[in-house]
Each structure stands twice: as structure tokens, then as C-alpha cells.
């Protein structure tokens, strides 16, 4: 383990809830332990590293120095640009400063989740901290946007393994999202789609049509407007996804989804 080269990774946490990390560590194929132990050297992450305090900060700075231009920077969370960045500080420094420093020597940046990709709930109106996604701050590095609140663990793991295996970014769409996972709408792979096409809809969450598994469009499903792999890869090692659990898609991988009208109406 000590002699095999593994791609160094620095994983920053800013304004976020850590569920992107929680999702990642549940990836089953590829299994996350193989990635962390054999494919990458996860040199800094507030969630998973044993070190803390000065020791942790030293590990990060050692990596930035020794592997300048080589390491992958993963960012979980948005960056508050208001109040000169002071809404989110780690080790006495603002998220904005930390991001600018870590981005400088990065080979590429992965913006995990809707927080880092589009601001997510912190950026919802009136966005009191001026929460800003990574691509609006860093302009001189390749950035992969991986939206979703959180993204699917296997999607996150798949992107890392692609970069480590091929030494390059996966193919991205015009919004910077990997085409392999974001080319289709949830609606296009939804198993309830035949009901939609036949005009069979649940009218409320507890009516007979809902019990029959009819389409959830009339109770607010945003699958027709949402690009993600939930219908194919699913969640919890392929067990289920929101629509299979009886709830419409709320469009968690789309820009500004918190502001796109209410999820529920009375």
C-alpha cells in the first residue's frame, strides 16, 4: 500500500449537510473500500480521516505541495461569498480562501452534489449568505458537476474510478455533468412511465390509483424535468428510488430546485 501510487484526493467540506459523503461511502459497485484503499489516497476529508486539527491541515498542505498539478479536489458544499466569506470558516479561514488555495494546484475539481453544483438549499431565496457553486468561483480548472441531493453513491464512485483508470475527465454535457449519468430524464427510465403514457395517474397520495402504482405526475412528480440516473441505477445498492417508494421526484439534481415552486400544495 505504501509503495503503490494512488491518485491523491483532497475533499473539502463547506456549506453542506455531509449526506454526499454519506452517499459515497455506501457505494456498492464499485465498493467504496476498494476505492479508498486501492485507487486513491484520500489525504484530507473532515468526515473520514483519522487526523484532526493541525495534523489534518498539515496532511492537506503536504499533499498540495508534493502533488501540485496532480491531485483531484473534491468539494462538497457551496461557498458563502457574502460577508467576505465569513459565514463558513474552517481552521480560522474562510471557505472562499480555502477553495481558492486548494483549487490552484488541482488537476481537476469535482463539485459533489447540488450544494457544490448549484448552491442547493443554502442558495434558495433569499440566499442570505450568497451561497455560490464552485464553477461560478473557479474559472481556470476543469470542473465536473455532479448534482443531486445527494448524488447516487455509485455515480460518485464511478466518476472517481473513471478519472483514476483513464487519467482524464468523463465526457461531460454542456452543463459540466457526466453524460453517462445525466443524459436522460428520470421520466425516461421510470418504471411507471407506461401509466403516464396511458393517462393513468394517482390523484392523491392515498387514493386507489396510488395504491395501484399509477404515475405520480399529478401529485407533483418532476421526473419529466429532471436529469439523473435514479430510474436505472436506483439507490441503496439498486434497491429503490423515490418514485418506487411512492413519492414523486422533487428534481433534486436540477438547478434551483428549492425555488421551483412548492413540493406540496394543499
Distance from C-alpha of 206 to C-alpha of 192, rounded to nearest angstrom: 17
Pairing of strands 79-80, 131-132: antiparallel
- The reply to whether 106 sits near ligand F3S by the rule CB under 6 A is no
CA distance linking residue 225 with residue 216, whole number of Å: 13
- The correct pick among 74, 75, 102, 250 for binding ligand F3S (CB under 6 A) is 250
Q: CB neighbours (10 Å) of residue 158?
A: 21
Shortest distance (Å) from residue 252 CB to ligand F3S: 3
| Alpha helices per DSSP H over the chain | 19-24, 32-34, 53-66, 95-104, 113-118, 153-166, 179-182, 193-197, 208-211
Q: Is 16 in the site for ligand SF4 (CB under 6 A)?
A: yes
| Closest distance of CB 2 from ligand SF4, Å | 32
3-state secondary structure of 115: helix
By beta-carbon proximity to ligand F3S, the closer residue of 94 and 226 is 226
Q: How far is it, in rounded angstroms, from Cα 173 to Cα 176?
A: 5
Q: Quick one: which of 27, 45, 117, 226 contacts ligand F3S (CB under 6 A)? A: 226
For residue 241, the partner it binds in ligand F3S, ligand SF4, none, with Cβ less than 5 to 8 A by kind, is ligand F3S
Q: What are phi and psi of 107, to 5 degrees?
A: -75, -40
**Closer Cβ to ligand F3S, 102 or 123, answer by number:** 123
Q: Is 192 a binder of ligand SF4 (CB under 6 A)?
A: yes
115 binds, among ligand F3S, ligand SF4, none (CB under 5 to 8 A by kind): ligand SF4
Near ligand F3S by CB under 6 A: residue from 27, 117, 129, 228: 228
Beta bridge partners of 89: 94
**Contact window for ligand F3S (CB under 6 A) among 11-19, 33-41, 161-169, 247-255:** 247-255
Distance between CA atoms of residues 253 and 47, nearest Å: 23
Residue number with CB closer to ligand F3S (60 or 177): 177
Cis peptide before 30 (omega within 30 of 0): yes
Work out which of 80, 153, 223, 251 binds ligand SF4, going by CB under 6 A. 223
186 is a contact residue toward ligand SF4 (CB under 6 A): yes
Give residues in contact with ligand F3S (CB under 6 A). Answer: 148, 186, 226, 228, 230, 241-243, 249-253
Amino acid at each position: 500500500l505504501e509503495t503503490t501510487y494512488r491518485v491523491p484526493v483532497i475533499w473539502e467540506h463547506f456549506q453542506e449537510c455531509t449526506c454526499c459523503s454519506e452517499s459515497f461511502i455506501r457505494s456498492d459497485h464499485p465498493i467504496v473500500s476498494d476505492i479508498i484503499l486501492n485507487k486513491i489516497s484520500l489525504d484530507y476529508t473532515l468526515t473520514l480521516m483519522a487526523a484532526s486539527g493541525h495534523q489534518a491541515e498539515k496532511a492537506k498542505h503536504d499533499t498540495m505541495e508534493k502533488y501540485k498539478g496532480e491531485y483531484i479536489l473534491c468539494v462538497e458544499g457551496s461557498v458563502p461569498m457574502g460577508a467576505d466569506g465569513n459565514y463558513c470558516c474552517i481552521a480560522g479561514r474562510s471557505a472562499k480562501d480555502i477553495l481558492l488555495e486548494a483549487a490552484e494546484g488541482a488537476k481537476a475539481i469535482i463539485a459533489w452534489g447540488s450544494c457544490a453544483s448549484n448552491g442547493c438549499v443554502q442558495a434558495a431565496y433569499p440566499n442570505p449568505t450568497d451561497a455560490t457553486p464552485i464553477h461560478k468561483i473557479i474559472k481556470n480548472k476543469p470542473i465536473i458537476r455532479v448534482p443531486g441531493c445527494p448524488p447516487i453513491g455509485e455515480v460518485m464512485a464511478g466518476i472517481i474510478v473513471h478519472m483514476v483508470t483513464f487519467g482524464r475527465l468523463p465526457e461531460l454535457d454542456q452543463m459540466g455533468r457526466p453524460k453517462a449519468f445525466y443524459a436522460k430524464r428520470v421520466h425516461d427510465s421510470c418504471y411507471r412511465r407506461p401509466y403516464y403514457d396511458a393517462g393513468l395517474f394517482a390523484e392523491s397520495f392515498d387514493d386507489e390509483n396510488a395504491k395501484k402504482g399509477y404515475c405520480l405526475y399529478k401529485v407533483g412528480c418532476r421526473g419529466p424535468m429532471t436529469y439523473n440516473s435514479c430510474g436505472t441505477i436506483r439507490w441503496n445498492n439498486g434497491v429503490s428510488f423515490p418514485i418506487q417508494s411512492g413519492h414523486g421526484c422533487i428534481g433534486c439534481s436540477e438547478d434551483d430546485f428549492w425555488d421551483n415552486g412548492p413540493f406540496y400544495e394543499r
